[in-house]
Structure 1
Amino acid sequence: MAQAFKRGDRKRLSALLPQAKGHPLEPWAAYWELKARLDEASTQEVRAFLNRYPATYQEDRLRNDWLLLLGQRRDWTTLSDEHQHYRMRDDRELRCYFLTVELLEKGPQASASIADEVRKNWMAMKEADDGCTLAADRLYFTKQFKALDIWRKARLMAEHNRPRTARNAVQIVSPADASHVNDILAKPLPFLNKQIAAPSKAKQELVVLALVKLATTDTDKAANLLRDKWRPYLTAEERHWVWGVIGRQSAMRLEDEALSHFARVANDKDLNDDMLGWKVRAALRAGNTPKWPVVESTISHMSAEARKDPTWIYWYARALLAHKKVTPQIQQEANALLESIAGVRGFYEQLALEELGRKVTVPARPDAPTADELEAARRNPSLQRALYAIGMGLRSEGVREWNYGTNLVDAQGKAGMMSDRELLAAAQVACDNQVWDRCINTSERTRTVIDFEQRFPMPHKDAVIARSKTINLDPAYVYGLIRQESRFVTDARSHVGAAGLMQVMPATAKWTARKIGLNNFTPNQINDRDTNIAIGTGYLKLVLDSFEGSMPLAAGAYNAGPSRSRRWRAPNDGTGPVLEGAIWAENVPFNETRDYVKKVLSNTTNYAALITGQPQSLKAKLGLVGPRSASAPAENLDLP
């Protein structure tokens, strides 16, 4: 039935459903069968399903699917009746449909908080969606959204190469121009060269869209056109936004000109948080000494929500401490900010701890789950189905069921969030079943206690440590990387084909096997535990040596490829700046790799504390990142 569902084979699903009656995964079978024909199912059928499988993931998942369908059909009465029973509440489009119901009921009297929530959800969605676009259209009609709100959405989508979503936004504010959006974004330079002036507000905004799109491929041309041709025709806000995009794109390319582009923005309030984040990164990377006043000023202009991020709390505190004269009041403010995040939970939390003069140590372990607590977790129907599904190879379904069960169902299987004690017990059940990814993810969600041995387990300990020591590789670094790569799922496979514990690509595995003398290697061996560890650690060691022992550079190379990590460090002519490892990591242009490097190094620090029993320094592991030393051994340039 799982295979038939993926194929969209409705007839096969209906034929097989009777055989699933009484099976532990019957709710999944019933969900697949009804979901496949939901567009033609009756309301009675849907409600019968919801009543048959109460408090299950499948009940709430189908309700989510049905509510989206009701929104598309504009069946506001049924949607309003059913929405109150929806528990997951994690679907932005569905939330926008429900907010639309409130807007239709309240009209111009709808609260400002509704408009703010729609704006937040709409701006966050990159794919074209009906729900939030409809809500935004309604808010524009009732004058609770300004035209600028709509155009800013279109600008964001132009920068992120989402022409359809950009067109949908323009359709709201200027229907006559919406049909031109695709052509403008496909060929922005001809459009900008052809246009002589911007005779209307809509035409000005189309010019802005074209400049934004051009900046994603050629910042110099976009900057020249903005400065030399279009400046007189655009408002200050429009110019600032385009310079913000140019600055962001330049900063992502690690260009020295990034800060000068941002400097053309007279008012940081005209930039969004993402642009401001890249302005901070550019200021941190500007030479051997960061531009601390720019860091401080820029973070102060971020939204209140963005300023709560540990990233910006840490760097704002560092900027305060970099004042020429640090008064007791400034010291107190900086220390309070650092204390607010200091701990072992993540990268900047650990750095804040060190900034306060303390190192990373293993926290006191909470009391182990009692026999009754463990038994309650084992009896939880959602967790039982999750483990069964994972055990029979339906990992995706099992993971979703587990996440639902630990987020929205208590230990007795009733709706309600698990307590820390229940989470620890559920995590332990996953550990006991060697479902390490659920063990880690569940343990990470405890709020007041931390069980380091759950959060940082060490499966295959003898094999990992023995292999690491053989090739002179820090086992904590290996464990930190495996935890991030696969969560210790031995048969993990990524969408690009990376496989096993250490997520090795087939071509890389073949190359590494030759390098480390692993004879008679064949691709089908890559999921074998010991083979995967041998090849993964062998490749990691070669990468680490190639980058002169720099853990952040090697982690970046492992994730995004050695050639990219080489480009992201200072130039090889020896003239580039020498950066703190944390500054280098924060400037990694790829969101995924930036997050990966920080998590691998944070993991490594915590594993080192566990393995050695000694206080650890994340800063020491990050080190400094600068140009390649002239005295370094020849670089292994054929690393895949």
Structure 2
Amino acid sequence: MLRKALKKEKGATIFQMQKLTQLINKRLAFLQQIFSYLLVLTLMPLSLSASTYIETEANQEMRDAFLRIEKKVWKTTDRDFAKMLEELDDYPLVPYLIERKLLHNLKAKKAPQIRAFLEQYEGTVLENRVRRPWLRHLSKYNRKSLFLEFYRPIGDVKITCRFLRYQYEDLKSGQASLSEEELHQRTEKIWNVGKSRPKECDATFKHWLKSDALTEDIVLQRIEKAAKGGQHTLIPYLKTLLPSEKQYLADLWHSIRRAPSNVKYLNRFKGRYQAIEAEIASYAFGRLIWRDTKLALKLWPKAEKKFVFSQQQLGHITGKFAISLAIDDHSSAEQWAIKSEALNKDPEVLRWHMADLLRDRDWASLINLIEKSAPDLTADNQYQYWLARAYEQTGNKNKANELYAQLANERHYYGFLASARLDQPISLQNDPIRAEPNELAIILQMQSSRRAYELRALNRFHEARLEWRHLQSELDEKQKLLASVIASDWGWHDQAIFGFTRTGYLNDVDRRFPIAYEELMVKEAKRNRVDPEWAFAIARRESSFMSDAVSSANARGLMQVLPSTAKYLEKKRVSQRQLLNPKINAKLGNKYLRYLMDKLDDNAILATASYNAGWSRVKNWLPEDKAIEADLWIETIPFKETRNYVKAVMAYKQIYQKKFNQRQTDKQKEQGSVFNEVIDTQIPVSI
């Protein structure tokens, strides 16, 4: 019917959409109803995978046609383009072709067509894909009236600054849509950050500065933000915006940011603005303790007398001291932990206080610490496990077993440890989601869902994820859960995993821990003499099986292999694109696991930590005097990220081992528990 409608519009181009859009909308609504009805009928008989589209040759033909037309979009006339679209009928990705055509050779005269497109796809991913470049074009050529008509907040600082500039210009004539007060507030929000802003904002800031809206407090706030992890080179400029009597504060912030040891020059703190000086000193000591422990401890008594610290600032300083000293196994670590705990309830301080006692095997003090600390902190499973261990070590086996039994009913690292201590099977608590076909059909017929499916089929994973993310905003809580089921059944494991995590439903274990890329992963694991369940656990933690994942450190692919690691293993350069190929990535990831095992005497716990933090760093974390139990060593790993990584991978490895064991026949012997191995493992002094 859409084809007939297009044919009736003789001479119409795809961009004469003001009248045509109304007709298309009616046709699309009708087609949507038909699609929904047919989809329900199609899905009803499916029992194993009710959320899987039925792939046919026609599906692939439409994709091929889409790709063919996409290559020609910029070379065709509007009329020829409209004819090409007829063969795609209601294919979900047609709007992406129209978007591509619209954005080619942007001109102001395209405003009617862009207006129609934005109205039709308002609130979708497609809206932002067109609105952003369109506004940038209008801004570049200073098309003020059109810019103001099409402007919507889209999270683009340059575009926002252009909008605010136009608003300032219209204030005098009374044509501004914002009040002067609101305009100042929005401009301040953009200006008051710890980094420099785009030059496109200069004109807006000029208007703002003329209004006297900039106060000394705002300048000092920005200086503090620039010092605390921002762009500290901004501070000399910001200093000029302060009156002369306050400029020394900017110098102090800048000096401390560059070298926290400069806090030793106490005479530079003039005492005129005690609250600000105390904040600068608090920031300095919070950094200095990590860089120069001896100097920080030496300076502290004088600083404590000189500055008027608030309780919050004292809590910050003592907390940083307590954690840093505990990590270094310093003799005064417990003293500082007690000081900090008296000031505030910092979970990280309590955790490192516990770790410090564990390192010393001071079981009696550990029991006292946990039992006397705030219940809302110590109710956490890690404290309950270590309380049980402490009871066990001090001869109170009944209390220990009682706590172990409670933990063993849960599916997590400490629950698995507790099961191993009791020598009983682990509990997976698998409770898969059960979905009715008609419930899934409602989601499947939504345009964002259809577009995501097709984009993924074309290996356009980024665009597919954007559509899928937008879909979540259209769903209620139950539907979000069902969307995770759909993603899992499509083999889109990363989105299924993320979806279950977001909704808080964690008991669909099979979908949350899929045996993805099974043939490939098992083959590479066995080739490298690596336990397959360990390889799966690493991939699950590293990427959630997102084959195109790229980290901030440029680790890439299923097992997040760094280009430098790949080059070392292969003795030749491996391109970044190759690392996104699952076959190459799985090969290199498993090869690296074998390399680490060879380096670390086949100790899987140390190798796991090394996969995250590097083996040379891990060797520096080995005990100094004598071997210690693996669970104790894991708890004292200095890096929080690595500590949590090892715990997660061990737990995931146990889950995958259980899943593999469940496949075994009665005649086949199940492997032993991962956590039985953990509690039997000793971390050596050196390797």
TM-score tier (shorter): 0.5 to 0.7
Q: Measure how far apart 1:153 and its partner are.
A: 13
**Amino acid across the alignment from 2:628:** V
Q: Deviations over 1:175-233 (max 9, x none)?
A: 77642322233233334235298857434454333323322311111011114x33443
1:596 corresponds, among 626, 634, 645, to: 645
Counterpart position of 1:114: none
CA contact (8 A) 1:154 1:209 kept: no
Structure-to-structure mapping, 1:196-595, within 5 angstroms: 199=271, 201-202=274-275, 203-227=277-301, 229-233=302-306, 237=311, 241-252=316-327, 254-257=328-331, 259-260=333-334, 262=336, 265=339, 268-270=342-344, 272-287=346-361, 291-293=365-367, 295-296=369-370, 299-300=373-374, 304=376, 310-312=381-383, 314-315=385-386, 334=403, 338=407, 342-344=409-411, 346-351=412-417, 358-366=424-432, 368-391=434-457, 395-406=461-472, 408-410=473-475, 416-419=476-479, 423=481, 425-445=482-502, 447=504, 450-513=507-570, 523=575, 525-571=578-624, 575-576=625-626, 578-581=628-631, 583-595=632-644
Q: Secondary structure, in 3 states, of the residue corresponding to 1:216?
A: helix
CA distance in 2, matches of 1:352, 1:469: 30
Q: Measure how far apart 1:512 and its partner are.
A: 1.9
Q: Secondary structure, in 3 states, of the residue corresponding to 1:434?
A: coil
Q: Secondary structure, in 3 states, of the residue corresponding to 1:195?
A: helix
Q: Secondary structure, in 3 states, of the residue corresponding to 1:492?
A: coil
- Of the two, which has the highest radius of gyration? 2
CA distance in 2, matches of 1:348, 1:553: 18
User: Are residues 315 and 309 of structure 1, via their aligned partners in 2, closer, same or farther at CA, if it must alter by over 3 Å?
Assistant: same
Q: Measure how far apart 1:258 and its partner are.
A: 6.0
Counterpart position of 2:267: 195
CA contact (8 A) 1:204 1:233 kept: no
User: Are residues 210 and 336 of structure 1, via their aligned partners in 2, closer, same or farther at CA, if it must alter by over 3 Å?
Assistant: same
Counterpart position of 1:29: 129
CA distance in 2, matches of 1:315, 1:175: 51
CA distance in 2, matches of 1:316, 1:127: 46
User: Are residues 625 and 66 of structure 1, via their aligned partners in 2, closer, same or farther at CA, if it must alter by over 3 Å?
Assistant: farther
CA contact (8 A) 1:431 1:454 kept: yes
Q: CA RMSD in A?
A: 5.5
Q: Measure how far apart 1:313 and its partner are.
A: 5.6
**Amino acid across the alignment from 1:233:** K
CA contact (8 A) 2:569 2:592 kept: yes
Q: Measure how far apart 1:612 and its partner are.
A: 1.0
**Amino acid across the alignment from 1:409:** E
CA contact (8 A) 2:541 2:648 kept: yes
CA contact (8 A) 2:500 2:512 kept: yes
User: Are residues 380 and 285 of structure 1, via their aligned partners in 2, closer, same or farther at CA, if it must alter by over 3 Å?
Assistant: farther
Structure-to-structure mapping, 1:33-112, within 5 angstroms: 33=133, 36=136
User: Are residues 285 and 10 of structure 1, via their aligned partners in 2, closer, same or farther at CA, if it must alter by over 3 Å?
Assistant: farther
User: Are residues 291 and 553 of structure 1, via their aligned partners in 2, closer, same or farther at CA, if it must alter by over 3 Å?
Assistant: farther
Q: Measure how far apart 1:488 and its partner are.
A: 2.1
Counterpart position of 2:36: none
Gaps of 5+ in 1: 51-58, 83-92, 98-124, 130-146, 411-415, 515-519, 636-640
CA distance in 2, matches of 1:580, 1:364: 28
Q: Measure how far apart 1:438 and its partner are.
A: 0.7
Q: Measure how far apart 1:465 and its partner are.
A: 1.5
Gaps of 5+ in 2: 1-73, 75-95, 172-176, 198-216, 663-669
Q: Deviations over 1:257-304 (max 9, x none)?
A: 462452572753346333333333333333586951464168528xx4
CA distance in 2, matches of 1:14, 1:337: 68
Indicate the percent of aligned positions where both proteins have the same amino acid.
20
Scaled by the length of structure 2, the TM-score of the pair is: 0.61
Structure-to-structure mapping, 1:105-120, within 5 angstroms: none
**Amino acid across the alignment from 1:183:** S
CA distance in 2, matches of 1:343, 1:153: 47
**Amino acid across the alignment from 1:504:** V
Q: Measure how far apart 1:492 and its partner are.
A: 3.0
CA contact (8 A) 1:385 1:398 kept: yes
CA contact (8 A) 2:629 2:683 kept: no
User: Are residues 194 and 568 of structure 1, via their aligned partners in 2, closer, same or farther at CA, if it must alter by over 3 Å?
Assistant: same
CA distance in 2, matches of 1:258, 1:487: 41
**Amino acid across the alignment from 1:536:** G
CA contact (8 A) 2:497 2:512 kept: yes
**Amino acid across the alignment from 2:333:** L
CA distance in 1, matches of 2:658, 2:194: 40
Between 1:188-197 and 1:553-562, the stretch displaced more is 188-197
CA contact (8 A) 2:363 2:390 kept: no
Between 1:475-484 and 1:457-466, the stretch displaced more is 457-466
**Amino acid across the alignment from 1:456:** F
**Amino acid across the alignment from 2:265:** N
Q: Secondary structure, in 3 states, of the residue corresponding to 2:265?
A: helix
Q: Measure how far apart 1:480 and its partner are.
A: 0.5
CA distance in 2, matches of 1:594, 1:35: 46
Q: Measure how far apart 1:479 and its partner are.
A: 0.4
CA distance in 1, matches of 2:125, 2:269: 64
Q: Deviations over 1:149-190 (max 9, x none)?
A: xx999999978688699999xx9xx97764232223323333
CA distance in 2, matches of 1:510, 1:312: 42
Question: How many residue pairs get matched?
Answer: 530
**Amino acid across the alignment from 1:550:** N
Counterpart position of 1:55: none
Q: Measure how far apart 1:45 and its partner are.
A: 8.0
User: Are residues 445 and 190 of structure 1, via their aligned partners in 2, closer, same or farther at CA, if it must alter by over 3 Å?
Assistant: closer
Counterpart position of 1:413: none
Q: Measure how far apart 1:337 and its partner are.
A: 7.2
CA distance in 2, matches of 1:288, 1:13: 74
User: Are residues 326 and 460 of structure 1, via their aligned partners in 2, closer, same or farther at CA, if it must alter by over 3 Å?
Assistant: closer
CA distance in 2, matches of 1:587, 1:445: 30
Scaled by the length of structure 1, the TM-score of the pair is: 0.65
